[in-house]
Structure 1
């Protein structure tokens, strides 16, 4: 989970990057922007830059096809800055030049590039320094209404930026340098040419450590139970909740995930286990995220996924039944006389 509520801006530089294929150029500023004396602007910029990352679930790492991280331009310049080998503003200029060089698709829009130095961003429970890189491509017209001579007057801003619509952004968190840092990405443009941000400019791939393995396994298993099992088995909602509860209990009580053990203790059916393995393989191929048959379970990833594991039976708009275990204490049926379905619950004590 990513939090920016306690984060602060240390420095900010702005440049403009054009489309190289359209013979547009880049414009580099000479100095950083001083916003320290402004009481409003830092909060607006923090909202504009950082708020979209609250929904960024995937953590990436820098890489290079030649397996040499130093050849990844964004990683290299970020590392130089983190190690105080290059001034912040010079780093931002180098990043702008690199973005310009990869902006070769004819439909890539020109825009402003913002580079910020951040303090106290929190990722997965730990605070770190970070670098934020953001690009604004789309402008909007805004109306301004203000009092004037006992009434109101109207004006407009033609090429303004909507601070609730960040086009592209990346936060490079200063941790796990040798593995390629922890990297969060936002890209609100879905056109095919937009892949240049992730693939050409950043060169990133999904992290595949214990945290990612744990989160992906839980995510895939939840989707498997909710979407896939119905094709081969007749399952009631209570059965699905029971399967999800058993899987969450497995991850909360075990230190290590073992595929065979999980299939036996949680799934408990060879045919369903085979279907799950096939479902995993399809996910791994589609998202280029291979699964390991054994890995250490990351508790923060389990905690993160707990909220999405719903254990509630919703019956019309009248009742919600929270199921935490004891599937054999729940019976369901159909009342012919009333023409309604029903659940029967058994319990020892009422609390």
Structure 2
């Protein structure tokens, strides 16, 4: 995990203005890094830059189809890590690279902040880090002030420090694999992929977070889509299996394919179908799902919505099923020609 409190030393910071090149907006680069002398401003900037990463446990790495060394941002960051005197020159190169990829008509121009942190902590390791942040949206703020013994109201344009539009933290670790990288992008529209795919050129790391996230999705798809085509299974049985899957990922520290199949599915035919589907899923989505891996608790927490234990009955009822499958029975009422569920319980809260 990224520990926000450990980002205390903002050693260098420079700001450039990157417009949309296709809209003839300019690229304006600072000549030198910003001199930060006000401690309050430094802390506000740290909040603006780092706070959005507080709950991030998903990491990426720089990539290139031909050779990692051809990834421009990887090279610029590597040069800064090697020699801090390269900071300003490489920050300009980063700005130029972003300007080159800011061609979609809907891409907004904005300020680009390049920061160097001489000491921070990620997953328990103390390393250097480079931050690349972009602000695209501005807010209007009311300013209340005292003038001639009366309070006055005015407004001014500014940046909301609680709303970072785009961000990237590059940690000086595992350079041979493309560094450990964390990214933020609040714009989910199609044109926004330029930040991750064109500008940064990163891909998810094959770590426990990614493996857990992929396995959870695969299990959900199997229970929702595959099992009902092979067996007569009502929605209650599906919910029961989702609950068992959720319990497995929450309670176990290690995922083991055979152990999961026996504990959750049980039936030999269902187990065989599950293992076959694992291979189909891996081929279709080009995702490797190992037989064993360490379960990432943050990934399980993020994927909790996958295990929705809700039984929706027309538009009248939502039944939340959390426990014993045997305490709910399904039937058909001939008098009304409608289906029903019978819920068995001891106490009413």
User: TM-score normalized by structure 1?
Assistant: 0.77
2:327 to 318, 325, 332: 332
Kept in 2: contact 1:14–1:29 (CA 8 A)? yes
What SS is found at the alignment partner of 1:109?
coil
The alpha carbon displacement at 1:214 in A equals 3.5
Q: Secondary structure at the match of 2:344?
A: strand
Stretches of structure 2 lacking an aligned partner (at least 5 in a row): 311-319, 330-340
CA contact (8 A) 1:221 1:276 kept: no
Q: For structure 1, list consecutive stretches of 5 or more residues without a partner in the other structure.
A: 315-319, 346-351
Equivalent runs, 1:289-328 vs 2, <5 Å: 290-295=287-292, 297-298=293-294, 301-302=296-297, 305=300
Structure 2 vs 1, CA of residues 204 and 313 (structure 1 numbering), >3 Å: closer, same or farther? closer
Cα distance in 2 for partners of 1:265, 1:113 equals 51
Deviation string, structure 1 residues 147-199 (Cα, Å, up to 9, x no partner): 223321111113x2122221111111111111111111111123322211111
The answer to which of 183-192 and 271-280 deviates more is: 271-280
Contact 1:220 1:280 in 2 (8 A): no
Which whole-Å CA distance do the structure 2 matches of 1:303 and 1:187 have between them? 19
Indicate if the aligned counterparts of 1:243 and 1:267 stay in contact, CA closer than 8 A: no
Deviations 1:233-270 (A, max 9, x none): 33355554334324555x42x5xx55455434443233
Task: Indicate which of 210, 213, 217 corresponds to 1:212.
Answer: 210
Contact 2:209 2:299 in 1 (8 A): no
Partner of 1:349: none
Q: 1:166 aligns with which of 146, 164, 173?
A: 164
CA RMSD of aligned residues (A): 3.6
Match of 1:242 in 2: 244
The count of aligned residue pairs is: 323
Contact residue 64 and residue 70 of structure 2 kept, 8 A: yes
Question: SS of the counterpart of 1:343?
Answer: coil
Mapped partners of 2:185, 2:283: distance in 1: 22
The residue aligned with 1:343 is: 345
Aligned position for 1:31 = 32
**Would the aligned equivalents of 1:312 and 1:321 in 2 still touch at CA under 8 Å?**
no
| Residue of structure 1 equivalent to 2:145 | 146
